[in-house]
Structure formats: C-alpha cells, structure tokens
C-alpha cells in the first residue's frame, strides 16, 4: 500500500492543471469502497448500466451523454465566453479507492474556477485509463477529470488528456485552448447537463504511471473508460482562454 499511496501523493502535484499558479496538495486520509454498482466489462459493463438500477436509465435514454469523439474541424468558436478565473490554494485531501477509479476529494475551501461569471468549487478529481474522450478519433493513454460544483448544483468538469511518453513533469504552463461541451457524467447514473472543458493539447504520461493508476482497481475496471456516445444535436465549442 505504501508505494501506491506515495505514487498518488506525488501525482496530485504533477497533475493539477488549472493555471500557472498550480498548487501542491498532501493526502490526509485514504478511504476504500468495496461494493461496485457497475463495472467496465462483463455482466455489469457499460452496455448493461441502464438495467442495473432504475436510477441509471439515462445511461441508455439520455441524449447528452459523454464521452464523445471531438472532431476539431467541426468545433464552433465561442467568442462570447469570458476568460476563466482560477483561485486555488494548498490543502489536505482524502484519497478514495472506489475500485472503479482512484479519486481525490477536496474540502470546501480548496478554491474555485469561474466560467462566464459563474463560480464552481473544486470538489474532486479522478482518472480514467485509457481516455474516455477522443480527439479526431484518437484515444489517449489516460484522462484526468477535475470536478467542480456551483452553489446551485451545476457541475463543471475540466478534463486533461495524456499520451504515452515521458513522465509528466512538474507543470509550468498549460495550453489555453479548450473544447466546451454540454454533456453528462460518464459514470452511472449518467446525469446530464454537465459542462465539460477538455484541454485540447494532451500532456505526457509514462507507462509506469498508467500502470499505477490501474493497479488498485477491480479486474473488471482496469480499463475504466466508457465507450464514446452519440453527439446528437450538440455542438462542441472551441473556447480560447
């Protein structure tokens, strides 16, 4: 447990991607959740999610589901959006191993991001490997989701894609081109009307780091990426920060 715990402690510092004022965090507790309500393969896999629980029905019937394949040539520029405002500070966090992903839970006073004058507080971040979203049909080695929630319960997820290569270094700058999409949670109950901001330029991650992300997971969740969902009538917006 010690080596895995140490990896995630250091990874928190490596993978925070919101702004040049990136902050470090330290783990304060670890929680393990044993019971799985869904998996990514077998009898409880993505094609069965809607039948596992009446509350999961949107996984089959929803029209705003995620993830999707982002076709960059079809993204529509959004000239009305205002710059993102980031405000974060160093905090102690909780590491949660729920067997389908490893997540970091943040306290209320961690900080926030403001999009179009609406404030969203950072609540949690988690990883998927391989990536859930694709760009021009290309799937990546991993995807990080940073989940923010506003006071009225609206959810904003900032996603970063990672391709295999060198280990991700301490972050210096970020690519400020993002894809914006009205979407859903990519795990049951597949709740819709979330906002996803997917950073267009992938970062680098090593095979060893990917293996460490998968190590704690249930065997049926080692590849914890939901298949891409139909875009339907949605438009992907290209957001310039």
Tens-digit pLDDT profile for residues 31-67: 555 689 999 999 999 999 999 999 999 999 999 999 9
Span of 131-145, 155-169, 170-184, 205-219 with lowest mean pLDDT: 170-184
Where in the sequence is the domain holding 213, given as residue range(s)? 2-240
Q: Which of 79, 88, 241 is nearest to 175 (CA)?
A: 241
3-class DSSP state of 221:
helix
Cα–Cα separations (whole angstroms), residue 30 to 94, 105, 107, 126, 157: 6, 10, 14, 14, 23
Cα gap 194→60, rounded to integer Å: 17
DSSP assignment string, 114-145: EETTEEEEEEEEEEESS-SSEETTB--SEEEE
Q: Domain containing 194 — which CATH number? A: 3.10.200.10
Instruction: Report residue 104 as tokens.
Output: 């970091």
Question: Cβ(180)–Cβ(70) under 8 Å?
Answer: no
Bond before 67 cis per omega within 30 degrees? yes
Q: How many domains does the chain have?
A: 1
pTM value is 0.82
Q: Which of 127, 110, 161 is nearest to 11 (CA)?
A: 127
Question: Cβ(137)–Cβ(68) under 8 Å?
Answer: no
* pLDDT per position as a tens digit, 69-108: 999 988 887 766 777 888 888 888 788 888 999 888 998 8
């Amino acid at each position: 447990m010690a080596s895995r715990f140490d990896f995630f402690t250091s990874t928190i510092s490596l993978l925070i991607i919101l702004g040049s004022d990136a902050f470090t965090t330290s783990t304060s507790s670890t929680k393990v959740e044993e019971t799985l309500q869904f998996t990514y393969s077998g009898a409880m896999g993505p094609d069965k999610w809607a039948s596992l629980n009446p509350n999961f029905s949107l996984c089959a019937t929803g029209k705003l589901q995620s993830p999707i394949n982002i076709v960059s040539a079809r993204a529509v520029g959004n000239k009305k959006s205002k710059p993102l405002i980031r405000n974060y500070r160093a905090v102690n966090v909780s590491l949660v191993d729920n067997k389908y992903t490893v997540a970091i839970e943040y306290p209320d006073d961690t900080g926030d991001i403001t999009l179009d004058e609406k404030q969203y507080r950072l609540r949690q971040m988690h990883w998927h490997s391989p990536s859930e979203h694709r760009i021009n049909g290309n799937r990546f080695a991993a995807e990080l989701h940073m989940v923010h929630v506003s006071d009225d319960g609206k959810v904003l997820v900032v996603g970063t894609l990672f391709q295999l290569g060198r280990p991700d270094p301490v972050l210096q700058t970020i690519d400020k081109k993002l894809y914006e999409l009205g979407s859903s949670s990519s795990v049951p109950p597949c709740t819709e009307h979330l906002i996803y901001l997917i950073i267009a330029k992938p970062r680098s991650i090593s095979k060893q780091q990917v293996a460490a992300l998968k190590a704690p997971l249930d065997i049926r969740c080692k590849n914890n990426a939901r298949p891409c969902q139909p875009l339907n009538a949605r438009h992907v917006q290209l957001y310039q920060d």
